[in-house]
Structure 1
Amino acid sequence: MSTAHESKSPIVSEIEESSRSHNSYSSPDDASYNKNQDIEVQISQVSSLNQLGSNPFLDPKVEEHYRDIYEGSQYECRHEFDPHFTWSPEEEKKIVRKLDFRVALLACFMFVALQVDRGNLGQATSDGFLKDLKLTTNDYNTGNTIFLVAFLIAELPSQLISKRVGPDRWIPFQMIAWSVVAMSQAALKGKSGFYATRFLVGFLEGGFIPDIVLWLSYFYTSKELPTRLSWFWTTLSLTTIATSLLASGILRLRGVGGLPGWAWLFLIEGLFTLFIGISAIFLMVPSAVETKAPWRPRGWFNEREIKIVVNRVLRDDPSKGDMHNRQAITPKLLWKGFTDYDLWPVYIIGFFAYIPMNTLGLYLSINLRTLGFTVLETNLLGIPQQVLHIVLLIIYTWLTVRLNLRALVSLCQPIYTVPLLGVLCWWQGAMHNKWATYAVTSLILGNPYIHAVCVGWCSTNSNSVKSRTISASLYNIFCQLGGILSANIYRTSDLPLYKRGNKVLFAIAFILVPILLGTRQYYVWRNKQRDTIWDAMTEDERKSYIEDNKDLGNKRLDFRFVY
């Protein structure tokens, strides 16, 4: 949650100095408590204290306000809510390390299953998949479009089901179901089967990413989440590297058992992701207070650790307790999420940002084979761009968190990709120098990836679990819409180097620059609007507003958007 004012008053400075001496507030004597209480009341009238490293619940009215919300929503962790509970920085670091191992690493492990089953089609094309099924480039485009449309259709329904039954139940079911379909691709004989399996895999995978992001948000603060999401998408690249190496071996099984190499690829990797899905049943937990199970009788945390996990998250973002983790989204909340115009700028970024990379990624194997590389070379040559992708993703995410600048740092992506796409568009020697063409393509695919930051950006600017649940799906839907466009830019008539398609990619990459700058200015303008209204209110009016407006999410006058 953002503060209502950028500048710091003497009161704020006093609190910050106090908070630096310990991680959270202890219960003081009556005199000092009254002094701190007076300070907290004044600050709560103009801002949220979370970004100041303070405890907003020390103001009794703020505590009462949110305690009523937590009780009303039957928030599963409400009995651990304690405004005066204290812990040391060393304890918090230990807890975060444990969360990284138990939660973030598990999320990365599950993401492997998604990337393996949605990414191995590109590897299959290097083994004559299109030729064996008598498919054209346009048929391949149609299959990828069907996958993305199905993925898109399932986004919101999947998120709604997950919110009702819990991510810890729904996500393992998804992985098991799509793994079975993925394995069935080994029996493909023609176009109709290709289209059918593309639809089923896409439909069953839809919603997985926002489900995982929502689950992660239960355990991490707003500043910690982007870094953990960068690990999430780093896993994508590591998985692609591993599967590229694996594919180079599996595809050599062509002819064994009368099956082509790509059939063995689908079968073996589908069995692997099925194992991950079954494992997730026993590894995931509903929340910090529900980690015990017959196969895990001691749970993840002791009683003190549970209180630290719960209270550190709530003090960072009190809105994370406004829903139960098994509470369904109502039609009214769904409509409210759709019409939240303040999040649409981030959705628009999600639509345009990944189109050039998606298109080049879909056709990497086909293009490398066209340039004359062998099946083995094609799969191994996909590795360097993934390594570059990991390095730039980590650097970019760290820089964004360090500077707290999302829009401006995100400009790194188009500034990096536009010149390289220009080379692909207008360089006349592409067909005659396959290694140079490969190098340029790999540099583009290894671009500074802004997806992790945008997901965290959308989550923070939602300022409510209710709207956060919907906004995560809507953001991903816009990404999939962009994916549908990216799957249809290269056409058969544009073979062999897709010069016309590359010009379209160049234009789309360039458009992202004004979109990012416009998004930043929009949020600056919205914050100034609220500053004007808030500054014109008297102290009594501000206090009355805070007491009366209990659930407005990012529409609260005392909330400020991050940019």
Structure 2
Amino acid sequence: MEKEDIHHVEKTSIDVYEEKVRKPTTAEEMFPNIDKKKLLKKMDMNIIPILSLLYLLSFLDRGNVGNANIEGLSVDLGLTGPQYNMCLTVFFFTYSAFEVPSNMILKKLRPSIWLPLIMVAWGIVMTLMGLVKNYHGLLICRIFLGVTEAGLYPGVGYYLTLWYCRSEIQFRQAMFFSAASIAGAFSGLLAFGIGKMKGVAGLHGWQWIFILEGIATVVVAFIAFFFVHDFPETARFLTEEEREFVVWRLKYDGNDNSAGGELVAQNDSRDWKYVWAAFTDIQVYVHLLLYFGVVVPLYGISLFLPTIVNNLGYTSSTAQLMTIPIYVIAAIASVTQAWFSDRYGKRSPFILVNLLFMLFGYLLAFNLSHKKPTAVYVGCYFIALGLYPALPAIVSWMSNNVAGTYKRAVAMAIQIGIGNLSGAIASNIYRAEDKPEFKLGHGMEIMFVCIGIVSLIVLNFGYHVVNKRKQAKIESGECEHLTSAELSEMGDRSPYFRYRH
């Protein structure tokens, strides 16, 4: 049954309410028998664990090439420095190109089919990557890995907004995204263990890294077909009243009734004009610049951290193990910050602190790498403490400020899709000829962090100005003639929608 048809099956309490004159109210007043905390916990237990597992494997599979490289990948395939970097780079071209189409497909297909399906595809590609014999084979596999992995992160990021309100989304995004930092820790640990399989069946250790992690991905994908839920309207683990409660909250999330305005439902239309609205919304592109400020360092760390630590003078095995505590601390910081951010309803102050942590870490690495190599390792902790909490915060911040589900789906895919093109930059700034100090790489990361700081300031100023203008229009009575349908169609441009800082 199609998602939009669910509402026409029978008249629910939501439909009855909408037939009456609307007055400002809350979901708790509409559904007094629902315990919101218990319901959120039930949703978390049924939604977050499987999504986190999917993303853990996704990030593990795209970043394990860095671990494989210090286990002899480049040597055994005869790769030059530029060839290795090109294999990293091509992934991001296809990864970025297919993110917007994937989110549009997700909107038409059921998540329980689309997400596991693309996971099976990239697991097969990852397994085959362990059988490549030369540069061209690795290059082709990385191209197809980008195609098949493209839909997961933007898809899940958008999917969560179909279940949780704006004030709850970052904590769930962080729990989901913390799988990336855990993947980093697992990557080093697994690579350390699997690397010992060198010679088994006549294969190199790096080949077993790809093969075993690829097979694990396919197995989990088949399990996911049964554990990924579609939409609140059809969720089997919710009662009928709980489903109505969740749908009602999401429908009116983002309203500002402080001026006595009526409740306005969010627009769920799939009209192409909302695709155009996403592509022409200036806030999407400023958020994109902010995303650049974090995602370039993200891929710099995920692809090159083992190499950076290895070049501090440690053996490959030791370097693999030394990356683990960095990622563990990052995961803890990510979830902790998200809880406080949702609790106080603030995004930008936390993101600013994240960016300053990253800036300090890269300045340590840039200025002291030739004097005190261990300063680079210390700097990596500061970078991770800023980086991993920042990414879910940035994605949540934009999803909070784009209304209309179709527009939000496309806007998030633009942010994440084009933003991930910057991974192509990160793939080429840590060059073999720059080791062990990697001045170019650290310097470029500093530049992108500064771009992120400027973008954050611009967004905050812009949101403050627009919110004041909306309030002035409401107080002057300019909006009284607007109907509920017109306000719904306006999305985040509605005078009653408030942009969050």
SS in 2 for 1:542: coil
Counterpart residue type for residue 203 of structure 2: L
Q: Deviations over 1:133-166 (max 9, x none)?
A: 1112222221111001110011111111111112
Written as runs of structure 1 = structure 2, the 5 A alignment for 1:277-426 is 277-291=221-235, 299-316=236-253, 322-323=267-268, 329-426=270-367
State whether structure 2 residue 75 is matched by structure 1 residue 138. Answer: no
Moved more, 267-276 or 362-371: 362-371
Q: Could you tell me whether the CA contact under 8 Å between 1:171 and 1:208 is conserved in 2? A: yes
Q: Could you tell me whether the CA contact under 8 Å between 2:292 and 2:452 is conserved in 1? A: no
Written as runs of structure 1 = structure 2, the 5 A alignment for 1:41-52 is none
1:429: Cα distance to partner? Answer: 3.7
Whole-Å Cα distance in 1 between the matches of residues 368 and 439 of structure 2? 10
State whether structure 2 residue 422 is matched by structure 1 residue 482. Answer: yes
Return the match for 2:55 from 103, 111, 118: 111
State whether structure 2 residue 447 is matched by structure 1 residue 447. Answer: no
Return the match for 1:555 from 468, 478, 493: 493
Partner of 2:441: 501
Pair 330,113 (structure 1): closer, same or farther in 2 beyond 3 Å: farther
Q: Could you tell me whether the CA contact under 8 Å between 1:253 and 1:264 is conserved in 2? A: yes
Q: Could you tell me whether the CA contact under 8 Å between 2:110 and 2:230 is conserved in 1? A: yes
1:181: Cα distance to partner? Answer: 0.6
Q: Could you tell me whether the CA contact under 8 Å between 1:343 and 1:461 is conserved in 2? A: no
Moved more, 502-511 or 450-459: 502-511
Pair 395,553 (structure 1): closer, same or farther in 2 beyond 3 Å: same
Written as runs of structure 1 = structure 2, the 5 A alignment for 1:46-65 is none
SS in 2 for 1:488: helix
Partner of 2:26: none
1:85: Cα distance to partner? Answer: 4.2
State whether structure 2 residue 195 is matched by structure 1 residue 246. Answer: no
Partner of 2:23: none
Whole-Å Cα distance in 2 between the matches of residues 222 and 116 of structure 1? 29
Return the match for 2:157 from 186, 207, 213: 213
Partner of 1:196: 140
SS in 1 for 2:474: helix
Partner of 1:529: 469
- Normalised TM-score (structure 1): 0.79
Partner of 1:515: 455
Partner of 2:203: 259
Counterpart residue type for residue 314 of structure 1: K
SS in 2 for 1:552: helix
Q: How many residues align?
A: 477
SS in 1 for 2:277: helix
Q: Could you tell me whether the CA contact under 8 Å between 2:361 and 2:378 is conserved in 1? A: no
Moved more, 222-231 or 354-363: 354-363
Pair 93,358 (structure 1): closer, same or farther in 2 beyond 3 Å: same
Structure 2's unaligned 5+ residue stretches are 18-28, 255-262
Pair 81,125 (structure 1): closer, same or farther in 2 beyond 3 Å: farther
Counterpart residue type for residue 554 of structure 1: D
Moved more, 148-157 or 511-520: 511-520
Q: Could you tell me whether the CA contact under 8 Å between 1:230 and 1:397 is conserved in 2? A: yes
Q: Could you tell me whether the CA contact under 8 Å between 2:52 and 2:176 is conserved in 1? A: yes
SS in 1 for 2:489: coil
Partner of 2:32: 87
1:321: Cα distance to partner? Answer: 6.1
Structure 1's unaligned 5+ residue stretches are 1-70, 292-298
SS in 1 for 2:68: helix
Pair 157,233 (structure 1): closer, same or farther in 2 beyond 3 Å: same
Q: Deviations over 1:487-533 (max 9, x none)?
A: 22223443332113322222322332222111100111111222233
Pair 100,549 (structure 1): closer, same or farther in 2 beyond 3 Å: closer
Q: Could you tell me whether the CA contact under 8 Å between 2:289 and 2:452 is conserved in 1? A: no
Pair 196,548 (structure 1): closer, same or farther in 2 beyond 3 Å: closer
Return the match for 1:174 from 118, 136, 149: 118
1:465: Cα distance to partner? Answer: 0.3
Whole-Å Cα distance in 1 between the matches of residues 167 and 86 of structure 2? 40
Percent sequence identity is: 24
State whether structure 2 residue 480 is matched by structure 1 residue 542. Answer: yes
1:286: Cα distance to partner? Answer: 2.0
Written as runs of structure 1 = structure 2, the 5 A alignment for 1:228-243 is 228-243=172-187
Whole-Å Cα distance in 1 between the matches of residues 3 and 480 of structure 2? 24
Return the match for 2:406 from 466, 472, 491: 466
Whole-Å Cα distance in 2 between the matches of residues 323 and 428 of structure 1? 52
Pair 468,142 (structure 1): closer, same or farther in 2 beyond 3 Å: same
Whole-Å Cα distance in 2 between the matches of residues 456 and 428 of structure 1? 35
Q: Could you tell me whether the CA contact under 8 Å between 1:319 and 1:465 is conserved in 2? A: no
> Which structure: larger Rg?
1
Whole-Å Cα distance in 1 between the matches of residues 496 and 373 of structure 2? 57
Return the match for 2:71 from 123, 127, 130: 127
Q: Could you tell me whether the CA contact under 8 Å between 1:348 and 1:478 is conserved in 2? A: no
Q: Deviations over 1:328-371 (max 9, x none)?
A: x5543322221122332212211222323422332122223333
Counterpart residue type for residue 495 of structure 2: L
SS in 2 for 1:463: coil
Partner of 2:213: 269
Q: Could you tell me whether the CA contact under 8 Å between 1:388 and 1:447 is conserved in 2? A: no
Whole-Å Cα distance in 2 between the matches of residues 124 and 76 of structure 1? 50
Whole-Å Cα distance in 2 between the matches of residues 271 and 333 of structure 1? 39
Whole-Å Cα distance in 1 between the matches of residues 432 and 60 of structure 2? 27
Whole-Å Cα distance in 1 between the matches of residues 438 and 252 of structure 2? 52
Q: Deviations over 1:83-125 (max 9, x none)?
A: 4742346x22221111011112221122222122112111111
Pair 181,87 (structure 1): closer, same or farther in 2 beyond 3 Å: same
Whole-Å Cα distance in 1 between the matches of residues 229 and 469 of structure 2? 42
Moved more, 94-103 or 106-115: 106-115
Moved more, 498-507 or 382-391: 498-507
Whole-Å Cα distance in 2 between the matches of residues 133 and 562 of structure 1? 50
1:545: Cα distance to partner? Answer: 4.7
Whole-Å Cα distance in 2 between the matches of residues 113 and 256 of structure 1? 24
Q: Could you tell me whether the CA contact under 8 Å between 1:464 and 1:553 is conserved in 2? A: yes
- Normalised TM-score (structure 2): 0.89
Counterpart residue type for residue 542 of structure 1: E
Whole-Å Cα distance in 1 between the matches of residues 470 and 128 of structure 2? 55
Q: Could you tell me whether the CA contact under 8 Å between 1:321 and 1:465 is conserved in 2? A: yes
Whole-Å Cα distance in 2 between the matches of residues 278 and 384 of structure 1? 31
Whole-Å Cα distance in 1 between the matches of residues 31 and 158 of structure 2? 27
Pair 434,493 (structure 1): closer, same or farther in 2 beyond 3 Å: closer
Whole-Å Cα distance in 1 between the matches of residues 369 and 62 of structure 2? 34
Pair 215,140 (structure 1): closer, same or farther in 2 beyond 3 Å: same
Partner of 1:47: none
